[in-house]
Amino acid sequence: MNQVVAVTINTFKETIRDRVLAVIVVFALLMIAGGLWLGSISLGEQGRMMKDFGLVALTVFGLIVAVFVAAGLVHKEVEKRTVFILFSKPVSRTAFIAGKFVGLCGTMAVVIAGMGLFLFVLVWIVAGQASGTLLLAVVMIYVQLLAVMAVTILFSTLGSAILAAVLGICVFVAGQLSHNVLALTRLGKNPLTEVLSWVIYVVIPNLSAVDIKAGAVGEQTLAWAQIGLWVAYLLAYLVVALALAAVIFRRKEF
Amino acid sequence: MIRRLFAIIVVMACAAGVVAYQVARPAKAPATPRVFVPSPRFFLDFSPSFRTSIADAYYLQMVQYYGEHAKSDGRLDSLPQMVDLVTRLSPHFARAYLFGAFALIDAGRPDVSYMILQRAFKVDPNDYRYPSYLGFFVYHYGKGKTKDLVAARWYQKAASVPGSPTYLPRLAAALLGKGGETEKAILMWGQVYGAGDKYSRQKAVAGIDRILPADKAARMKAVAPLYGTMPKAEFDALIAELFKGYK
Amino acid sequence: MTLATALSVRGLHKTVHVGFRRRPVEILKGVDLAVEPNDVFGLLGPNGAGKTTTVKVALGLMRASSGSVDLGVPGLSHVGYLPENPYFYDYLSGREFLGFCARLFGLDGDARHERVEQLLRDVGLDDAAATHLHKYSKGMLQRIGIAQALVNDPELLLLDEPMTGLDPVGRVEVKRIIEGLHERGKTVMFNSHILGDVHELCTRIAIMRTGRVVWQGSVDEALAESATLEDFFMKVVTA
């Protein structure tokens, strides 16, 4: 446990102090604030526009940060040979992967919370429409990004950081279209494509199920039991992804 | 030195070319009355997470499109598709329905406006605005002998929504009377009278008086159905006002 | 702690697969090595001889294709390692980095704090302790590297080119550290191309060439065969 805590703290400090991260977050805040201008041309729907576009900006920039930092976490250690220092000490590969992930979770929590609170305050001040559902939508975006981060870390143990980042983004997009893959399984007449579609459907995380952006603007009735179930599913999913990453990483030589 | 000078000249020439091109371009692209609007089906198959965001983007485009064309060439060819797209992607987006409904009248498509508002009311039966707008549009833009009655029925539906404004029953009653449904109009005015405030009572008395026959007996027969629909004291007060001047 | 051998390598083979076609390349071709407790052991050889690979296999950073490596200490918690040209975490300070290393060994609270401050003083970095590592010079990085190798007070210390990048004062300090460890009964094995340092510090040496140990023995035995260690080294590697 000490090892996981040590790697977690180290990862958090290393990632949160990265200047590139700060630049991206500042840009994201500017985009969120850009909702003010959109609101002014929306004929009185300022609150809705700010919430909706703010949450989209938060998702996009959160995804960029999550994927590119996650992709570089393991790869950077190998490239810069800090793994020599690390694994010459009594640190298991599994503890390393776990600590890296948890540390990044902490960093992402700070980033997402910062952007989310900024959006909340802006909507509250300008449109007076900030509610708890808006904050919950931010939390659900964070949960989605956790799953994407875990998958990206898995990919980073297999190949280069750029490839892992690109695949991480692809998984996010595919995760938003997961229900279409399910529809495909029901359309196929060929048993092989049906099986393949099923496999893809099971493997791709269903991210849209926990997205409640529509609920934040009043378009969705929130079924909490169902959302809770999907959150638990995503958490189990990321455990499996990280376990696979640990298994692959154990076989790596430096 | 010469090489550096040459490089500077090349860069300056490129910069001058870029600025000249930008300045020479028209400040604003000409607005086209026909724009490409994808089918809602395309986006409905897309992620449910981003439907409202896409709807918002097209809503803003719709507002800008209306603003560009309504006062200039007056051509709003793509407006029906835009309103349809936005409201299908975001079925509870009230402003899109309401703005779209009025904009579609300007576009010369009251039929689409009518359909959009009916869809809105089906989705949100607790919003009185949709049936009240429908009543307004039918009354002003509808054709045919039955338009007053159709409008009246929409106003009645609007009036039955909890929290709806008090003028809606008055509108319903007036249109029922105008449409020839005297009995229903009188009953409706009776409800207005039952609201209790001085203004409503004045309006109710005037409204009933307008459609009652002059003959006392016929008049009494016409108001008889009101008995039992309100407290006796109210009924007596109403009758006293309706038969003021009659012996 | 009394050890049979501090490090024992027997018949170690290591093959890696390189390139798109995964062409096998044998890096270690049967390395036999024995480091006795309390040795200051010099592992010498030309570039590409397999010195670093041998150490990596010993530490578990690589897996042996065949053969065995026995660390005479009960696990990595009793080993300290400094890689060649070490690289560390850019945005941690020296103090934070050593604290991280100490935490990995289970040192908590005051014990960790005291150990970190002691190490910073020992390597002469107490003034730069709060500076981020990306601002350290090469010599400072080497010192922090030595400090992290010592954080757990290891029984066995493996150093790869420990003098690299150090100024003369730094080199003297590192030599003193190695001598101090030897006096305390620790075992030190280091790779180095600077034979003067090897002559000064080592009790025993091994010379590797093309993936094998071609000579192993005490420094005195080497000097019995040649006038200088340089001459002996050249004689062995060119034989």
**Mutation test of the interface with chain A: which of C89, C108, C160, choosing the one with the most A Cβ atoms within 10 A?**
C89
User: pLDDT tens digit string along B73-110?
Assistant: 888 889 999 999 999 999 999 999 999 999 999 888 98
- What number of residues does chain B have? 247
Contacting chains of C (3 CB pairs or more, <8 Å) are A
* Two tokens, residue C44: 């010498």
User: pLDDT tens digit string along A195-227?
Assistant: 888 888 888 898 988 888 888 888 877 888 888
**Mutation test of the interface with chain B: which of A36, A45, A140, A171, choosing the one with the most B Cβ atoms within 10 A?**
A45
Rounded to whole angstroms, the Cα distance separating C61 from C55 reads: 9
Helix, strand, or coil (residue C90): coil
Cα C221-C227-C233 angle, rounded to 5 deg = 70
ipTM of the complex: 0.86
Touching A: B residues 18-47, CB under 8 Å = 45-47
Q: Exposed, middle or buried: residue B240 (CB in 10 Å: 0-12, 13-18, 19+)? A: exposed
Q: Exposed, middle or buried: residue B142 (CB in 10 Å: 0-12, 13-18, 19+)? A: middle
Task: Kindly determine whether residue A14 and residue C56, on different chains, have CB atoms separated by under 8 Å.
Answer: no
Domain holding A211, by residue range, is: 2-250
Task: Kindly determine whether residue C104 and residue A2, on different chains, have CB atoms separated by under 8 Å.
Answer: yes
Task: Answer whether C88's CB lies under 8 Å from C138's CB.
Answer: no
| Residue B184 Cα distances to B136, B152, B178, B189, angstroms | 19, 10, 11, 9
User: pLDDT tens digit string along B182-237?
Assistant: 888 988 888 888 887 888 888 888 888 888 888 888 888 888 888 888 888 888 88
DSSP-assigned letter for residue B180 = T
Rounded to whole angstroms, the Cα distance separating A221 from A209 reads: 13
Task: Kindly determine whether residue C101 and residue A85, on different chains, have CB atoms separated by under 8 Å.
Answer: yes
Task: Kindly determine whether residue B56 and residue A43, on different chains, have CB atoms separated by under 8 Å.
Answer: no
Rounded to whole angstroms, the Cα distance separating B132 from C188 reads: 91
Task: Kindly determine whether residue A90 and residue C88, on different chains, have CB atoms separated by under 8 Å.
Answer: no
B47 contact residues in A (CB cutoff 8 A): 176-177, 208, 211
Total domains in the fold of chain A: 1
Rounded to whole angstroms, the Cα distance separating C152 from C104 reads: 9
Q: How far is A72 from chain C (nearest CA, A)?
A: 13
* B111 Cβ contact partners less than 8 Å away, ≥ 6 residues apart: none
Helix, strand, or coil (residue A212): coil
Percent of residues in chain B assigned helix, strand, coil, to nearest 5: 70, 0, 30
One digit per residue, pLDDT tens: chain C, 239 residues? 445 788 899 999 999 988 888 899 999 999 999 999 998 999 999 888 899 999 999 999 999 999 999 988 888 889 999 998 888 888 899 999 999 999 999 888 899 999 999 999 988 898 999 999 999 988 888 889 999 999 999 999 999 988 887 888 888 888 888 898 899 889 999 888 888 888 889 999 999 999 999 999 999 998 898 888 888 888 888 87
Task: Kindly determine whether residue C87 and residue A90, on different chains, have CB atoms separated by under 8 Å.
Answer: no
Task: Kindly determine whether residue A14 and residue C89, on different chains, have CB atoms separated by under 8 Å.
Answer: yes
- Chains A, B: CB pairs < 8 Å: 60
Task: Kindly determine whether residue A254 and residue C61, on different chains, have CB atoms separated by under 8 Å.
Answer: yes
pLDDT at C1: 44
Helix, strand, or coil (residue A232): helix
Rounded to whole angstroms, the Cα distance separating B112 from A49 reads: 25
Rounded to whole angstroms, the Cα distance separating C191 from A170 reads: 46
Rounded to whole angstroms, the Cα distance separating A4 from A89 reads: 13
Rounded to whole angstroms, the Cα distance separating C155 from C179 reads: 14
Short-list C185, C188, C154, CA closest to C174: C188
Q: Exposed, middle or buried: residue B74 (CB in 10 Å: 0-12, 13-18, 19+)? A: exposed
- Whether the model clears a pTM of 0.95, i.e. scores above it, the answer is no
Comparing C170 with A105, the larger pLDDT belongs to A105
C87 contact residues in A (CB cutoff 8 A): 80-82
- What number of residues does chain C have? 239
User: What residue type is assigned to position A199 of the chain?
Assistant: V
Q: Are strands C156-160 and C79-82 parallel, antiparallel or unpaired?
A: parallel
Task: Answer whether C75's CB lies under 8 Å from C227's CB.
Answer: no
B near C: at least 3 beta-carbon pairs less than 8 Å apart: no
